Amino acid sequence: MFSPQFRARRIRGNETFRRMVRETSVSANDLVYPMFSAFGSGIKKEISSMPGIYQQSIEHIVAEAKEVKALGIPAVLLFGIPVRKDSVGSDAYSDTGIIQETVRAIKNEVPGLAVITDVCLCEYTDHGHCGIIKNGDVDNDSTLKLLAREALSHVQAGADMVAPSDMMDGRVGAIREILDENGYDAIPIMSYAVKYASGYYGPFREAAESTPQFGDRRGYQMDPGNRREALREAAADIEEGADIIMVKPGLPYLDILRDLRNEFNLPLAVYNVSGEYSMVKGAAERGWIDEERVVMETMTAFKRAGADIVITYHAKDVARWLAN
Ligand code: PBG
Ligand code: ZN
């Protein structure tokens, strides 16, 4: 009778042994929780396509931030919905803008929780693009100045880290320069270095009210078919001073995450985006999948592919499941 030399089942058949040889683990320390802050008071409006995720006014944001901290999640990533939008996204770099006010409130009331801010203009422009428009297109270099002002203003309000998501060329350098000139050389930049033009951002645009009013973002976000280009994008941002580089979306781009892990030695983040979340929640609500199992498997996949940091709307649930 043939007897296999390699019997994987000797180890695999026993939960204690499985635990001893497991190569990848997920911890609450790995997670970042995104939040959507809105002006006003008493506002807590669920995003219809993202069950459990809300646009909320500052007092509710602070309350949830306390919960996040208590769960052992080290950081939140903030997005803002301004009262008024205009062609140049003025609220983005106003000292009394939605993010600036929110950052100050969280830093005052939830000490020890890191606050990362998304730096982009699309939530603040009336046309919904990530930069300012000239001759019908997003103008790269004049946008850089505004992004730099926005990042500085977030940091002056108390942000611990800034995360530019606009995909303009040169923005990491522009932000690094203005922060350094103003004495903020200790503030890190987490760059959305490799951000694809993706259908998976659909629910986010409802949450952030940032759908482009004309055209799309393919002129500045990456083409989903490109793999080598991701390495160039990441290398450029590292050269300009990025401290952490991100891949976004997550699950459809695990190969890219692994490529970056193999190529660079910086901390790597992955953004498990809104559409990924909505699909899981939608299927779980119908009883088609086991939510906890699928989400934990997904988190493990991100870590296994090379991520150090996972930005996810599931963060609070993951932290709770890990604690059980
Ligand atoms: C803004 C921004 C987007 C996301 C993060 N920052 C949307 C976009 O580029 O259209 C997407 C996040 C998500 O889908 O969860 N530039
Ligand atoms: Zn944007």
- Indicate yes or no: pTM above 0.95: yes
What's the CA gap between 90 and 16, in Å, rounded?
Answer: 57
User: Which 3 state secondary structure label does DSSP give 247?
Assistant: strand
Any idea how long the chain is? Answer: 324
Which protein residue's CA is at the shortest distance from atom 8 of ligand 1? 201
Instruction: pLDDT band for 36, please (50, 70, 90 cuts).
Output: very high
What's the CA gap between 34 and 47, in Å, rounded?
Answer: 13
How does pLDDT run across 180-190, given as a tens digit for each residue?
999 999 999 99
What's the CA gap between 126 and 147, in Å, rounded?
Answer: 16
Question: Which amino acid, residue 244?
Answer: I
What's the CA gap between 119 and 108, in Å, rounded?
Answer: 21
Number of independent structural domains in the chain: 1
Residue 74 lies in a domain: yes
Q: Which domain holds residue 308?
A: 24-323
Residue 8 lies in a domain: no
User: Which 3 state secondary structure label does DSSP give 89?
Assistant: coil
Residue 303 lies in a domain: yes
Which protein residue's CA is at the shortest distance from atom 7 of ligand 1? 201
Torsion angles phi and psi, residue 85, rounded to 5: -110, 150
Side-chain-side CA neighbours of 320 within 13 Å: the count stands at 8
Residue 9 lies in a domain: no
85 is catalytic: no
Q: Is the CB of 198 under 6 A from ligand 1?
A: no
Residue 1 lies in a domain: no
How does pLDDT run across 284-314, given as a tens digit for each residue?
999 999 999 999 999 999 999 999 999 999 9
Residue 13 lies in a domain: no
Whole-number mean pLDDT of the chain?
Answer: 97
Sign of the torsion formed by the C-alpha atoms of 185, 166, 156 and 111:
negative
66 is catalytic: no
Instruction: Spell out the residues 6+ positions from residue 1 whose beta carbon is closer than 8 angstroms to its own.
Output: none
Catalytic residue among 69, 107, 248, 303: 248
CATH assignment at residue 71: 3.20.20.70
Residue 267 lies in a domain: yes
Residue 18 lies in a domain: no
Residues with CB under 5 A from ligand 2 (ion): 120, 122, 130
